[in-house]
Amino acid sequence: MTSDDVLAEFRSAGALLEGHFVLSSGLHSAVFLQKMAIFTDPVRTARVCGALAERIEERYGRVDYVVSPAIGGIVPGYETARALGAKAIFVERDPGKPFALRRGFQIPKGARAVMVEDIVTTGLSSRECLAALTSEPGEVVGAACLIDRSGGKADLGMPLVALVTLDIPNYPADQLPPELAAIPAVKPGSRALPGA
C-alpha cells in the first residue's frame, strides 16, 4: 500500500478533518486525522493495519507482542498484531497518572515487542507508552504508527516505522494564525488538558 493509497482510505472514510483542533499535546491545528472513522470499518482497518504489519516485519523481523497506548492505539494495535501473528496488549492511564500495563498484561522474557501508535504528532504519547515498558522482561525492538504527522521530526528514542509521513503545521495556543483563531476549537482525543 503506497502513502497515496493510505491517504485515500482516510479520505474515503471521512477521517481527514479540517477546522480548528486542540491536539493531545495542547498544540492547535487546522487538520485532524480522525482515525476512528477508519477503525469503525473492520475491513478497512484490516487493509491499513495489514500494510503496517508488512512494514513492521520488514524492519524489525519477528514480533511476538504489539503494545499500544489507549485509547486510539488499541484497535490498530490489535489488528496489526493479528496480521503479524502476535499478541496485542495496551497501556492505559488512570486520570492524572502515567500510562501503565494493567489487567495482567506483560512482555515476557525473550519476547520481542513493537509499540504501535495510531497517529504521531509530537511523539509524547508514544514516549510515555515506551516509558511504561522499560522494566518489562521482554525487549521493545521498535515503534510504528499509521501516520506520522511530524514530518519525521518526532523523536521516540527508537526507530519509528510510519505507513505515511506528513508534515502538518501545529501552533501553540498563543501563536494561532488569524484564520484559525476565528474558528471555535474542539478537542477530539482522550487526554485531559492541563487544568481541565
Ligand X SMILES: O=C(O)c1cc(=O)[nH]c(=O)[nH]1
Binding residues for ligand PRP (CB under 6 A): 23-25, 69, 71-72, 117-126, 189-191
Please give the Cα distance from 26 to 44 (Å, whole number). 30
Binds 76, which of ligand X, Mg ion, ligand PRP, none (CB < 5 to 8 A, cut-off by type)? Answer: none
- Report yes or no: 112 and 141 within 8 Å, Cβ to Cβ: yes
Q: Which residues are bridge partners to 147 per DSSP?
A: 119, 164
Binds 124, which of ligand PRP, ligand X, Mg ion, none (CB < 5 to 8 A, cut-off by type)? Answer: ligand PRP
- Of the candidate spans 30-38, 51-59, 85-93, 136-144, the one that interacts with ligand X by CB under 6 A turns out to be 30-38
When asked if residue 77 is in the footprint of Mg ion (CB under 5 A), the reply is: no
Contacts 24+ apart (CB under 8 A), 167-173: 168/29, 168/31, 169/29, 169/30, 170/23, 170/25, 170/27, 170/28, 170/29, 170/121, 170/122, 171/27, 171/28, 171/29, 172/26, 172/27, 172/28, 173/22, 173/26, 173/28
Q: Which residues are bridge partners to 186 per DSSP?
A: 21
Phi/psi at 53 (5° precision): -60, -40
Is the CB of 39 or the CB of 65 nearer to ligand PRP?
39
Nearest alpha carbon to residue 69 among 133, 136, 152: 133
Choose which of 32, 65, 72, 76 interacts with Mg ion (CB under 5 A): 72
Binders of ligand X in range 126-155 (CB under 6 A): 149
Binds 68, which of Mg ion, ligand X, ligand PRP, none (CB < 5 to 8 A, cut-off by type)? Answer: none
When asked if residue 76 is in the footprint of Mg ion (CB under 5 A), the reply is: no
When asked if residue 23 is in the footprint of ligand X (CB under 6 A), the reply is: yes
Is the CB of 9 or the CB of 121 nearer to Mg ion?
121
Please give the Cα distance from 71 to 20 (Å, whole number). 22
Binding residues with Mg ion: total (CB under 5 A): 2
Binders of ligand X in range 39-98 (CB under 6 A): 72
Q: Which residues bind ligand X (CB under 6 A)?
A: 23-25, 32-33, 35, 72, 119, 121, 149, 189
Q: Which residues bind Mg ion (CB under 5 A)?
A: 72, 125
